[in-house]
Amino acid sequence: MNVANPVAIPSSGASDTAVVAPRRSQPAFVWEDPLLLEGALSEDERMIRDAAHQFCQEKLAAPRAGGVPQGDLRPRDHERVR
């Protein structure tokens, strides 16, 4: 069976009278909401989600790698002495 182009064979007719089935279009994948949960939340639940997200970004987010020295990034105790 050709998966790219499915064929529907009528049960009452011969196999040489096959009709090509229309291709179904799939909905576009939403990367921002892959499980489509946004539509399932009430307004109150969205407000709670947004407040929790804002708190985490302000208070819990780890600092970026701005404090890393640009020279040697390996710890000295892992180097071998030859």
Percent of the chain residues topping a pLDDT of 90 = 22
- pLDDT higher for 13 or 23? 23
- pLDDT higher for 25 or 73? 25
Q: Of 24, 26, 21, 25, nearest to 6 (Cα)? A: 21
CA geometry: angle 28, 34, 39, nearest 5 deg: 90
Q: What is the mean pLDDT of the chain?
A: 74
Q: What is the pTM of this model?
A: 0.42
Give every CB contact of residue 1 below 8 A, 6+ residues apart in sequence.
7
